[in-house]
Structure 1
Amino acid sequence: MTTKPVNVSEIYKNDKDLKKTDVEAIFDWVSKQPHLPEISEIQAILFLQSCYYSNELAKTTIDNYFTVKTLCPDIFGNRNPNNPSVKHAMNTVLMTVLPKLTPEGYATVFMRLIDCNPENYNFAHQIRNFDMAVLLYLHQNGPVKGMHLVFDMQGVVFGHLTRLSIVVMKKLLYYLQEAMPIRLRGLHYINAVPFIDKVLAMMKPFMKKELTEALHVHAESIESFYKFVPQNCLPEEYGGECERLDILHENIKCAINDNVSFFEYEESQTVDEKKRPGKPKNAGDFFGVEGTFKKLEVD
């Protein structure tokens, strides 16, 4: 059964910083951008809230979001839950937003291998499935004050490292920092493997100072992680109050499979570069060698 979107009137009611006039201004701006698709009210709210209610920053983020998604179909395309690659990715990695918020009101995106065979791991497809799970959650629940991204490296072997791509890593980190409508509070690796330094070496050239400071590796003990996400917010296997991993896995698979129309709508929202005022953009503008990631340089 398709889940209905969150009641936007409740969002306005509960968020004193969110102004209807600001949302209307975003709609008006989008309508005057011939290259951009129409957006929904919940999308406008998510962009505004994630940008701390700055209209100008929200406009830039909206353009980045739809442009990157259009220019990177290798990552963000083929979102239909009936697509075999979506199903395969769901059966390889658990990616879900845990039901219990932290005391600060932050959501926790929890990721862990289900199938530990590196041959079955596709980095680009996992990013797509991560994006699908998070955006469906936001569509159903509305914005949250922040998000922790948590990857439990239990079962990760060196073969998984060889499945990573520096180009895909660039795209992921640009999207996380410049386009995705979330307030990213922390990026955590728990049960970190000995070769985590090699993963971080791929990531850090493309991380802004703020994300570098929000990156935490919990190698020796998970105890250090609890100050960010309390133990009671975690699945049962970690001593928490959430359901077991197998139940969480089935729940997210059902949620994604039951919302085909939502993902079809998302995938239809593309940028038409032929209609963009000024010079059209291409992947090289974001991910090429010359001038790439100037915005992401660490001071």
Structure 2
Amino acid sequence: MDTNNKTAFISTNTEEEKEKIMENVGITFDEIYCRGSSLVEWTYVQPHLPNVRENYYKYSGFAGKLWFRMKMSMARAKNKIDTYYTMKALAPEYLLNRDPANQQLRASMAHLHIAPMPMLTDRLTRVYAIKFVDREFSPHMLTDWNKYVLMLGDVQQWDDLSLAEEVVVDMANLTLKQVVVLTPPVVKKLVKCYLDVLLFKPLSMHFVNAPSFAEAVFTLVKSLLKPKIADRIFVHTEKGYEKLHEHISPKYLPKDFDGEGPELKDMHNAWLQKIDSYREWFLENDSYVVREELRQGTPISYSDVFGMKVPATTDSMTSHGESER
């Protein structure tokens, strides 16, 4: 692979991959765009949803892919769009004030590398690789890391299509400092963000080089997931990647996971540049938030979604992010 060509590290469907996906589900791309147009028109008549310009959805392409990932159900797709804007109001520390040029965010991302692999697996899934680069950690990094991952998910979903995702996390540099900040309320909110906001359909999640003290976190996370999703989490405490390769071929893993793909750092840096190119979009996206006072029916509250009152830290985290804009 040409390591000087940054676009070689960016995951984009090949024509062959598109054809295989369409054959697998028995539809055409024309139908995806048609359904997307219908969804965009639906948003215009929902008074509580922001009046988003259609090119925000890239001429309905993203909205159509949303329909596709929601098992080709218009009802589920509409609910997903509603949830996206609702969660922005309820989890602003992760879903608002997302400026790619924010210096604190950029500094935090030097300590966590993440990127989707350039090619789909033979199961037509997209592998995401994540690695703790070192053991340096400050509490704000947890917010920054998850904010960035959700930003990457937004950008990734514009141009990409797959049947599901497979996530691989190298935890060799995980420390107790990172674990203790993962309180039940924080984990619950993050689970909701990833499963309810992103077009994320996890086929498998692998945690390699996992230290024994991380077991409590996995127990908590699994308790917040549906059993069928919890069963897709695999924790590999053995050092190395041999067990991981029994589930995912090295062909679809980064070089630093003993795989045949590019170095994760190179892919991570290429994605940082791509997300930079979406800065204007992210800044505009901040203004698109649900207006509960205009919702037909009962407004949705924080406790409705998370089953608890708004934590005191939420306001401080939000204002912190705003002060750095």
TM above 0.5, one fold? Answer: yes
Q: In structure 1, give the amino acid aligned to 2:178.
A: H
1:22-76 CA-to-partner distances (Å, cap 9, x unmatched) read 3233223222211112361133123211111111111112111211122211111
> Which residue of 2 is the match for residue 202 of structure 1?
220
Two-structure CA RMSD over aligned residues (Å): 2.6
Of 15-24 and 95-104, the range deviating more from structure 2: 15-24
Partner of residue 65 from structure 1, selected from 46, 71, 84? 84
Cα distance change of structure 1 residues 190 and 55 upon mapping to structure 2, 3 Å threshold: same
Is 1:30 aligned to 2:58, yes or no?
no
> Which residue of 2 is the match for residue 295 of structure 1?
none
Partner of residue 85 from structure 1, selected from 88, 104, 110? 104
Residue pairs, 1:250-289, within 5 angstroms: 250-289=269-308
Cα distance change of structure 1 residues 251 and 236 upon mapping to structure 2, 3 Å threshold: same
Task: Please tell me whether the aligned partners of residues 81 and 257 of structure 1 are also in contact (alpha carbons under 8 angstroms).
Answer: yes
Partner of residue 98 from structure 1, selected from 101, 117, 130? 117
Residue pairs, 1:170-185, within 5 angstroms: 170-185=188-203
Shift of 1:215: 1.0
Is 1:163 aligned to 2:181, yes or no?
yes
Q: How many correspondences in the alignment?
A: 284
Cα distance change of structure 1 residues 181 and 245 upon mapping to structure 2, 3 Å threshold: closer
Shift of 1:162: 1.5
Q: For 2:38 and 2:17, how far apart are their aligned partners in 1? A: 17
Task: Please tell me whether the aligned partners of residues 90 and 253 of structure 1 are also in contact (alpha carbons under 8 angstroms).
Answer: no
Cα distance change of structure 1 residues 265 and 53 upon mapping to structure 2, 3 Å threshold: farther
Task: Please tell me whether the aligned partners of residues 92 and 120 of structure 1 are also in contact (alpha carbons under 8 angstroms).
Answer: no
Residue pairs, 1:3-152, within 5 angstroms: 15=22, 16-17=26-27, 19=31, 20-37=33-50, 38=52, 40=57, 41-119=60-138, 122-139=141-158, 141-152=159-170
Where 2:109 maps in the other structure, the secondary structure is: helix
Structure 2 unmatched runs, 5+: 1-6, 310-325
Cα distance change of structure 1 residues 29 and 109 upon mapping to structure 2, 3 Å threshold: same
Cα distance change of structure 1 residues 11 and 191 upon mapping to structure 2, 3 Å threshold: closer
Where 2:97 maps in the other structure, the secondary structure is: coil
Runs of 4+ in 1 over 3 A off after TM superposition: 9-16
Structure 1 unmatched runs, 5+: 291-299
Is 1:228 aligned to 2:241, yes or no?
no
Is 1:188 aligned to 2:206, yes or no?
yes
Shift of 1:267: 2.6
Residue pairs, 1:238-253, within 5 angstroms: 238-253=257-272
Q: TM-score, normalised by structure 2?
A: 0.79
Q: In structure 2, give the amino acid aligned to 1:188.
A: H
Task: Please tell me whether the aligned partners of residues 166 and 202 of structure 1 are also in contact (alpha carbons under 8 angstroms).
Answer: yes
Where 1:195 maps in the other structure, the secondary structure is: helix
1:224-255 CA-to-partner distances (Å, cap 9, x unmatched) read 32243211211122332222233223222222
Shift of 1:10: 11
Cα distance change of structure 1 residues 157 and 232 upon mapping to structure 2, 3 Å threshold: same
Shift of 1:120: 6.3
Q: For 1:185 and 1:52, how far apart are their aligned partners in 2? A: 15
Cα distance change of structure 1 residues 77 and 87 upon mapping to structure 2, 3 Å threshold: same
Task: Please tell me whether the aligned partners of residues 185 and 214 of structure 1 are also in contact (alpha carbons under 8 angstroms).
Answer: yes
Where 2:308 maps in the other structure, the secondary structure is: coil
Where 1:241 maps in the other structure, the secondary structure is: coil
